[in-house]
Amino acid sequence: MQVTYTVDKQQPGRVYLIGAGPGDPDLITVKGLRLLKGADVILYDRLISTELLKAARTDAQLIYVGKGDGHHTMPQEEINAAIISHAQRGLTVVRLKGGDPFVFGRGGEEAETLIEHGIPFEIVPGITSAIAVPAYAGIPVTHRNHTTSFTVVTGHESRSSSPNVNWEALAALGGTLIVLMGVKALPAFTRQLIEAGMLATTPAAVIQEGTTTQQRIVTGTLTDIAQKAIEAELKAPALTIIGTVVDLHKTLRWFHNTSSSRALTIS
């Protein structure tokens, strides 16, 4: 008996916008991994672990779209066009994004485009670096003795179309502050926070490549963290966490990468 497979051009394939987690490949969700294993086409970002991509079918098409921190290898319009054209051919498409697709991941824009083109899609949330990277550094974003809130903002405000972060309001808020994409802007926003009245002695940490074997942490205060991060030559991907919860790193640090001994803490 001969079996012929045809791709039905009338039926677009489904698109899954999947959060891959912050770096440690084990931090993808069970659902995300199951869908990744079944995908015909996978479009993935710069921060996606190569370990994770090994889960793809051997005949799956892997497309690197390289987005992340100012290195927009493929413009967003081209990424959208690629997702749509593969889906319109009836293929199952996975768009694999670092952390959570809806936390500074442009997942919202991609979902809007899919709606416009009538392509069925699902969102698979991921573990965001905003919470998981501090967790791997032994820093809980909230703690009853320290703070009842945390705020996640972007430090990358170069595009004039984006609304500006109100650093003055954040300084007054008093909770834990987590700044993504802010390595370059670190000297500027720490200064702005101090000028806006945040205590210069507030503990702060910058964590590079958190949750991976390359994890590096620099701790200090709002006054000296920028200089310390520069001296340590920290680079993206890195996030900054500001607030008294950062002090808990001293006692709660647990991720030492004993397998590779490559995690490094500079205080």
Given the rule CB under 6 A, which residues bind ligand SAH? Answer: 22-23, 47, 69, 97-100, 103-105, 128-130, 133, 180-181, 207, 209-212, 236-239
Q: What is the Cα Rg of the chain in Å?
A: 20
Shortest Cβ 262–ligand SAH spacing (Å): 14
Residue 165: both structure tokens together: 């972060």
Q: Contact at 8 Å (CB) between 237 and 47?
A: yes
Shortest Cβ 189–ligand SAH spacing (Å): 13
Handedness of CA 135, 136, 139, 144 (dihedral sign): positive
Of 104 and 121, the one with the shorter C-beta distance to ligand SAH is: 104
Of 80 and 211, the one with the shorter C-beta distance to ligand SAH is: 211
How deeply is 86 buried, as exposed, middle or buried, from its count of CB atoms within 10 A (0-12, 13-18, 19+)?
buried
Shortest Cβ 47–ligand SAH spacing (Å): 5
Of 165 and 239, the one with the shorter C-beta distance to ligand SAH is: 239
Which pairing describes strands 176-180 and 238-242: parallel, antiparallel, or unpaired?
antiparallel
Establish whether 67 is a catalytic residue. Answer: yes
CA atoms within 13 A on the CB side of 185: 19
Of 91 and 141, the one with the shorter C-beta distance to ligand SAH is: 141
Q: Give the 3-state secondary structure of residue 117.
A: coil
Q: Which letter does DSSP use for residue 90 in this model?
A: T
In total, the chain counts a number of residues equal to 267
Q: Looking at 40, 45, 97, 100, which residue is catalytic? A: 45
Q: Which letter does DSSP use for residue 245 in this model?
A: G
Shortest Cβ 42–ligand SAH spacing (Å): 17
Which residue's Cβ has the minimum distance to ligand SAH? Answer: 99
Q: Give the 3-state secondary structure of residue 15.
A: strand
Q: Looking at 40, 67, 100, 228, which residue is catalytic? A: 67
State how far the alpha carbon of 151 is from the alpha carbons of 30, 131, 241, 253, 265, in Å.
27, 10, 10, 22, 24
Of 41 and 103, the one with the shorter C-beta distance to ligand SAH is: 103
Shortest Cβ 6–ligand SAH spacing (Å): 37
Active site residues: 45, 67
